[in-house]
Amino acid sequence: MSHPRSTIRNAIIDKLRTQVDSAYLTDAEDRIYGNRAKPLFDQFLPAILVYAKDENILEERFETDGFGPLKRELEIAIEAVILGGDDFDQKLDDLSSQIESALDGFEIETRKSDILKLKSTEIDSSIEGSKIYGAIRLTYSVTYRAAVKQPLDEGVLPTEINTNL
C-alpha cells in the first residue's frame, strides 16, 4: 500500500496532465513529472515538477488512545520551468495561472476530505551561458488524515494483579 503522499502527488500530476477538448490544461502539456531530480532539456520545456516539500503533524495521536489517525499538513511543490525569452515573466505568470486554475476546487477522487490550498509562490531565474531559465514554484498545503497501525489484539486480559512487596 502506498503512502498518502504518493496518492496525493500522483492525483495532482494526473490532474495537470488532463486534456479538455484535446487541449492540455497547461503549456507544459504532458511534460509533468513526479520527481524533483528529473533532468530537463531545452527541447522539453516548459515542464512541471511535482514533489513533496515538507510535512508536519498537526495533532498528536496521543490525544486519544495513542492509535488514532494523524492529522498531517503536507507541502507539495509544483515547479514550472521555462527557457527564457522576451516574454520571460509573462510565460511564468501564464504557467502559474494555468496551474492555479487547474487546481482551483480540485478534489482527489479517493481522498475527498483532503483540503488543498495555495500557500506561496516563488519565482527564480538562472543564467547558463547565453540561456536564461525561469522557474516558478507554487507551494500547496494539503491537510489530510492518515491511519496508524493498530495494536494486535492477541493479548489476554489479566485476571489477577500480582505485586512484589
What is the reported pTM? 0.81
Are the C-beta atoms of residues 137 and 78 closer than 8 Å to each other?
Answer: yes
The gap from C-alpha 27 to its chain's centroid, in whole angstroms, comes to 20
What average pLDDT score do residues 24-53 get?
A: 92
Whether the pLDDT of residue 63 is over 60: the answer is no
Alpha carbons 41 and 83: distance in angstroms, whole number: 10
The pLDDT of residue 90 is: 94
Domain 4-146 fold: Alpha-Beta Plaits (3.30.70)
What per-residue confidence (pLDDT) applies to 165?
47
Share of the chain above pLDDT 90, in %: 53
Phi, psi of 122 (to 5 degrees): -120, 140
Looking at per-residue pLDDT, the higher value among 63 and 8 belongs to 8
If pLDDT is split at 50, 70 and 90, which confidence band does 64 have? Answer: low
For the chain, the average pLDDT equals: 85
Compare 147 and 81 and report the one with higher pLDDT.
Answer: 81
Which cell is 17 given?
496532465
| 3-class state of residue 57 by DSSP | strand
User: For residue 161, what is the DSSP state?
Assistant: -
Q: Span 58-76, mean pLDDT?
A: 73
100 backbone dihedrals φ, ψ, rounded to 5°? -60, -40
Average pLDDT over residues 115-120: 92
Dihedral of alpha carbons 53, 137, 120, 99, sign? negative
